[in-house]
Amino acid sequence: MNTQNTTVHIRLWHREFWLMSIANLLLSMAVTMLIPTLPLWMMQALHFSREEVGLIMGVFAVGLFLPGVFCSYLVQQRRRNLVFVWCVLLLGLSMVLPMLSLPFFNRPLVVGMWRLAQGAFFGLAQMVLTSTLIIDTCESHQRTEANHSATWFGRFALSLGPMAGLLLIALSRALCPLHLENGCESNLLFLNVAFISLVCCLVAVILVLMIHFPFRVPEDGVRLISLDRFFLTSGFPLFLNLILITVPIGMLMSMRVPANSYGMVMIGFLLALLAQRFVFRNAELKSEVVTGLILISTALIILLASRLSPLTTPLLGLGLGIVGTRFLLFFIKLSRHCQRGTSQSTFMLGWESGLALGVGLGYYCFADNVQLMLSIALSLVLLALAMYVVFTHQWFVTHKNR
């Protein structure tokens, strides 16, 4: 039995799967790098209000959903790897716009449309990647492990991306001290971040182009608009429960914190991987989500008492890593035959849109009252815990298909 598991593991982690996973990491980093840096640029260089910044950061969540109904048609009628490539190239091209000093690119409506387009490009790229390309690179019996492993690469970007963005600004300021007005300095420093985001997109494209995907004859009768590979309507309770968890995390990401705080989140993620391997391997199914939400709640309680505690960020990473992995597997087990890709896209939408909405709410509603924001975040996590214990878990056990 051990020999068989080892063989499967070797077969899964082949060259193509590594390239896809690293491409997922770089694509996610290109977007998460902007979460702590883009608001600073908008407030200091463009002089937007916090309410305007909140709306612009939140509209990214709307963009994620816009192209979803066309996902199935595109991957059935076009070469699916090229659909991904064009989406990522357009996302990378959008990173260039702040560098061009366009005269109209200082208006909230224009920047909001730019952020909406970024959400659309990123959302479609992620749907194609997680619902199709990653599944295409592995055997049918490896797909759950492949989805689990590849999603972890994207989850690491939630720590690595913001940390890289903040470190890049700090390094640029240290190496090239600027004696300019605050707005001009912020503009130049953000351009470095935008350039690195562009590089991440281009490298992700190169990695995917290095993989050979066999040509598939386009299917007949494919509808232009479809929920296939987009949204699993039967999983809406899971989706709602996931949103209640990721929105508070996004709210926390609207706080100004040092780069090492995001690095400590990575420690929590690594502990979550160990916990899944050794602690929850034979545990009762409900225990993972309950434990993860209790850890997140504990971190928020500590933050309410003292924002200087070094325990909060590892606890957040540990709790979020445990909960995120379990919800991903819930979506997979809930899906019927040929719905695996749809379940992956639904999980991605719940995860990414919740984070974006949380960041937007943090800037729009709680800019001057962090204590209130932390209290609301804690209330949402406790609500998510109550919903899971009272309703979602039993509902999932009743409706799962795998």
Closest CA to 398 of 350, 343, 333: 333
Q: Tell me what pLDDT residue 182 has.
A: 57
Note whether 269 and 207 are same-domain residues: no
Distances in Å between the Cα of 226 and the Cα atoms of 71, 196, 217, 286, 366 are 8, 35, 19, 33, 38
Q: Tell me what pLDDT residue 314 has.
A: 96
Note whether 238 and 130 are same-domain residues: no
Note whether 47 and 189 are same-domain residues: yes
Torsion sign, CA atoms 351, 333, 82, 212: positive
Note whether 198 and 271 are same-domain residues: no
How far apart (Å, rounded) are the C-alpha atoms in residues 69 and 223? 10
The residue out of 229, 258, 292 marking a domain boundary is 229
* Contacts of 234 by beta carbon, 8 Å cutoff, 6+ apart: 334, 399
Query: Encoding tokens for residue 277?
Result: 């391997």
Query: Encoding tokens for residue 125?
Result: 């790229």
Are 87 and 128 contacting, i.e. CB atoms less than 8 angstroms apart? yes
Note whether 30 and 147 are same-domain residues: yes
Closest CA to 232 of 122, 132, 332, 128: 332
What is the rounded radius of gyration, in angstroms, for the C-alpha atoms of the chain?
A: 21
Query: Encoding tokens for residue 254?
Result: 């609207």
Alpha helix ranges (H) inside 129-258:
134-136, 143-175, 182-209, 236-253
What's 270's domain CATH number?
Answer: 1.20.1250.20
Note whether 341 and 196 are same-domain residues: no
Per DSSP, 215 falls in state -
Q: Tell me what pLDDT residue 136 has.
A: 81
Note whether 34 and 101 are same-domain residues: yes
How far apart (Å, rounded) are the C-alpha atoms in residues 248 and 379? 9
Domain coverage including residue 1: 1-229
* Contacts of 372 by beta carbon, 8 Å cutoff, 6+ apart: 366
Q: Following DSSP, what letter does each residue of 70-111 receive, concatenated?
A: GHHHHHHHS-HHHHHHHHHHHHHHHHHGGGGT-TTTTSHHHH
pTM: 0.93
How far apart (Å, rounded) are the C-alpha atoms in residues 226 and 339? 13
What are the pLDDT tens digits along the chain (402 aa)? 344 444 444 466 778 889 999 999 999 999 999 999 999 999 988 899 999 999 999 999 999 999 999 998 898 888 889 999 999 999 999 998 887 877 888 899 999 999 999 999 999 999 999 888 988 877 777 888 888 889 999 999 999 999 999 999 888 877 766 555 555 666 777 888 999 999 999 999 999 999 988 777 777 778 889 998 899 999 999 999 999 999 999 999 999 999 999 999 999 999 999 998 888 888 888 999 999 999 999 999 999 998 778 889 999 999 999 999 999 999 999 988 788 889 999 999 999 999 999 999 999 999 888 999 999 999 999 999 999 999 999 999 998 887
* Contacts of 55 by beta carbon, 8 Å cutoff, 6+ apart: 108, 112, 360, 364
Query: Encoding tokens for residue 255?
Result: 């706080």
Note whether 224 and 258 are same-domain residues: no
How far apart (Å, rounded) are the C-alpha atoms in residues 345 and 128? 8
How far apart (Å, rounded) are the C-alpha atoms in residues 104 and 192? 21
The residue out of 229, 250, 283 marking a domain boundary is 229
Note whether 75 and 145 are same-domain residues: yes
| Domains identified in the chain, total number | 2
Note whether 248 and 197 are same-domain residues: no
Note whether 258 and 392 are same-domain residues: yes
Note whether 244 and 218 are same-domain residues: no
How far apart (Å, rounded) are the C-alpha atoms in residues 78 and 65? 20
The residue out of 229, 251, 279 marking a domain boundary is 229
